[in-house]
Amino acid sequence: MCGSARSSSTPSLDDVRDYCRERGFAHVDAEKFWNYYESKNWMESGQLIGWRQRLAYWEAKDMAKEEKTSKKKPISADEIGDIVKDVFERRNAK
């Protein structure tokens, strides 16, 4: 791993990128992850974080977010027309 001059508990950006590549973490923005935790001195709730576990969490979270958004399909013009027609029919029925 790169960044051997750093503590084994705090990774370099190259460490994070390498680990993402090794694990196939395609959904994590390694630089965003690194910048976020570097700005917090790799601490959370007063304790040094386990960055590999935290990176796996980010991957799972980002993958779930992507799956949720990709399941939404665009509404077709016909569907919009049906919705508008239904709204006007309900309005006029009152």
85: tokens are 């027609």
Please, what is the Cα angle at 23 between 34 and 57, to 5 degrees? 55
**Gap between the Cα atoms of 15 and 4, Å rounded:** 9
Residue found under tokens 């309900």: 90
Listed by start position, the domains of the chain span 13-93
**24 and 42 Cβ atoms separated by less than 8 Å:** no
pTM of the model: 0.64
Higher-confidence position of 23 and 81? 23
pLDDT of 91 > 70? The answer is yes
* pLDDT average, residue stretch 51-73: 85
- State residue 79's pLDDT score: 81
- State residue 2's pLDDT score: 46
Q: What is the pLDDT of residues 26-42, one digit of tens each?
A: 989 999 999 999 999 99
